């Protein structure tokens, strides 16, 4: 056996509880979990031992939905009205990014995710294959990659909200070709799988969406799509498909409401639609910080789960909600759910930990490989410090206070060690697979260039953030 983590408090997520094991040992060999059980019954002699005393081991956290390349634009688009966020705040900055800027942003985003205990990212961007090569392979994180298929051609700035976006068919089909190449790129990678990525119903033409549906069916692949994102999208759907239609009703006609679909957001769907979608096996990616920051809305993750649906949590993008610290996101999810429902019992700590691990894996369709600490699964393991000012003290009687302390007290700063596929990616809080200083330096330099290039356009777009600059706030 290559490695064993001993004397650790383990939250295994086995069965339908947290699978709490005191004084556990976790044995790893060949990238897999070979032993998960009591230290007393462990009789192997591993090549290497990590003493887990004072720490808690959990399965690697699963961020089901993120556009990490936009991390380079952190701080450039928040505190603006929803209608301005995409086109007047983020848009001018995003348009100024070159491919290498996107790579630098993704490196920073994935670094932040790993540092917060994330071992799997549901990455969603254009030319995502490049991120596999330049970001995920070298850093060592697991990825479920989605290629963005978006056919919106040209600027939408001058359009009224009820004028449908102009669609460029060729651009959409070229993106589908890239998506197909992505599936090939994932076949030789142990840590990467792929999904189809039609960005949203208002951003792809009908024929293209039907083709994606048919290919997903015949090739047995999943579809990851932004669904029912709110009023802007709803007005586009009415303009394109008719006044009585909604995103969900049109997707239903297309035959896309099925267990093949991973739907990001869903806050624009009605309660009846949500219940139907959940019942049909659609998996939901809820992005609480992002939707709070951009729309002022709490996504219906509690309601979706109560309707029987499978849901995971994503961080979406850094500009707006702030970033990819997943432990912070678990806390935000819980607190927003409690205030939205006026119910302090909503989304308790144990539910947050299940949703952040095994349910996240189910949401991405890879629960046979990750999401729990069970023999035979891949060795994606995170050790968190229980002797940290934000998690201490912890007791095991009469309750395990590590469970609430992890969700309500911690942040990425408590993450001590991260293993992906049995490889030590982070140890003693230090990244082992790349130079963290170089990643930060490159991000700083490239961000300065992008903001400088975009500066004039960003100011001309005159969002409320520009007003704040003029008033001396920023």
Binding site for Zn ion (CB under 5 A): 316
CB 314 to Zn ion: min, Å: 7
* Conformation bin of residue 410: beta by default, left when phi > 0, alpha when psi is -120 to 50: beta
Residue with smaller CB distance to Zn ion, 84 or 316: 316
Question: Cβ distance 254 to 282 under 8 Å?
Answer: no
CB 5 to Zn ion: min, Å: 34
Determine the distance from the C-alpha atom of residue 163 to the mean position of all C-alpha atoms in its chain, rounded to a whole number: 31
- β 55-59/3-11 pair status: parallel
CB 395 to Zn ion: min, Å: 40
Buried b (16+ CB within 10 A) or exposed e, 255-284: ebbbebbbbbbbbbbeeebbbbbbebebbb
Tell me how far apart the terminal alpha carbons of the chain are, to the nearest angstrom.
55
CB 223 to Zn ion: min, Å: 14
Residue with smaller CB distance to Zn ion, 34 or 123: 123
Residue with smaller CB distance to Zn ion, 10 or 200: 200
Residue with smaller CB distance to Zn ion, 112 or 380: 112
Give 69's contacts (C-beta < 8 A, 6+ positions apart): 97, 101, 102, 103, 105, 106, 109, 125, 131
State both tokens at 148: 């963005």
Determine phi and psi for 315, rounding to 5 degrees: -105, -5
Residue with smaller CB distance to Zn ion, 35 or 165: 165
CB 293 to Zn ion: min, Å: 13
CB 106 to Zn ion: min, Å: 14
CB 272 to Zn ion: min, Å: 24
CB 65 to Zn ion: min, Å: 6
CA gyration radius for the chain? 22
Cα separation of 77 and 322, whole Å?
10
CB 400 to Zn ion: min, Å: 34
Question: Cβ distance 473 to 98 under 8 Å?
Answer: no
Comparing every residue's Cβ against Zn ion, the nearest one is: 316
Q: In angstroms, what CA-CA distances link 460 with 77, 159, 456?
A: 14, 17, 6
CB 67 to Zn ion: min, Å: 6
Residue with smaller CB distance to Zn ion, 316 or 385: 316
CB 316 to Zn ion: min, Å: 5
Residue with smaller CB distance to Zn ion, 316 or 329: 316
State both tokens at 337: 């759910």
Residue with smaller CB distance to Zn ion, 114 or 225: 225
Question: Cβ distance 179 to 196 under 8 Å?
Answer: yes
CB 86 to Zn ion: min, Å: 11
Report which of 308, 265, 288, 330 is spatially closest to residue 118, judged by C-alpha positions.
330
Residue with tokens 């759910």: 337
Cα separation of 101 and 428, whole Å?
29
Residue with smaller CB distance to Zn ion, 65 or 328: 65
């Amino acid at each position: 056996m290559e490695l064993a983590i001993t004397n650790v408090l383990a939250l295994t997520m086995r069965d339908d509880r947290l699978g709490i094991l005191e004084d556990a040992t976790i044995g790893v060999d060949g990238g897999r979990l070979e032993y998960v059980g009591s230290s007393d019954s462990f009789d192997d002699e591993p090549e290497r031992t990590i003493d887990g005393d004072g720490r808690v081991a959990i399965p690697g956290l699963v961020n089901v939905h993120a556009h990490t390349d936009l991390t380079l634009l952190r701080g450039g688009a928040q505190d603006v009205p929803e209608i301005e966020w995409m086109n007047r705040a983020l848009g001018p900055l995003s348009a100024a990014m070159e491919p290498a800027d996107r790579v630098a942003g993704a490196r920073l985003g994935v670094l932040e995710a790993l540092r917060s205990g994330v071992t799997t990212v549901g990455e969603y961007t254009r030319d995502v294959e490049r991120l596999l090569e330049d970001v995920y392979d070298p850093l060592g994180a697991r990825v479920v990659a989605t290629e963005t298929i978006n056919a919106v051609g040209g600027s939408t700035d001058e359009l009224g909200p009820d004028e449908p976006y102009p669609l460029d068919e060729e651009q959409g089909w070229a993106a589908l070709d890239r998506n197909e190449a992505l599936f090939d790129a994932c076949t030789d990678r142990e840590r990467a799988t792929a999904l189809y990525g039609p960005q949203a119903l208002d951003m792809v033409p009908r024929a293209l969406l039907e083709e994606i549906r048919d290919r997903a069916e015949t090739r047995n692949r999943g579809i990851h799509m932004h669904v029912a994102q709110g009023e802007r999208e709803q007005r586009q759907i009415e303009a394109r498909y008719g006044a009585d239609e909604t995103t969900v009703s049109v997707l239903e006609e297309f035959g896309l409401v099925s267990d093949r679909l991973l739907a990001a957001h869903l806050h624009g769907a009605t309660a009846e639609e949500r219940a139907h979608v959940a019942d049909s096996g659609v998996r939901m990616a809820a992005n609480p910080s992002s939707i709070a920051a951009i729309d002022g809305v709490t996504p219906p993750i509690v309601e979706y789960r109560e309707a029987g649906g499978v849901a995971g949590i994503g961080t979406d993008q850094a500009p707006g909600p702030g970033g990819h610290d997943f432990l912070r996101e678990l806390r935000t999810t819980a607190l927003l759910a409690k205030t939205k429902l006026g119910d302090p019992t909503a989304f308790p700590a144990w539910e947050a930990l299940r949703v952040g691990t095994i349910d996240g894996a189910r949401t991405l369709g890879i629960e046979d490989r990750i999401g729990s600490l069970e023999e035979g699964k891949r060795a994606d393991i995170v050790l968190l410090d229980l002797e940290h000012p934000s998690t201490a003290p912890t007791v095991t009687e009469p309750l395990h206070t590590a469970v609430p302390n992890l969700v309500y007290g911690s942040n990425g700063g408590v993450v001590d060690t991260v293993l992906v596929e049995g490889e030590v990616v982070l140890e003693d809080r230090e990244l082992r697979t790349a130079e963290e200083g170089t990643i930060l330096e490159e991000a700083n330099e490239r961000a300065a260039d992008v903001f400088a290039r975009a500066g004039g356009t960003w100011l001309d777009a005159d969002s409320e953030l520009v007003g704040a600059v003029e008033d001396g706030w920023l």
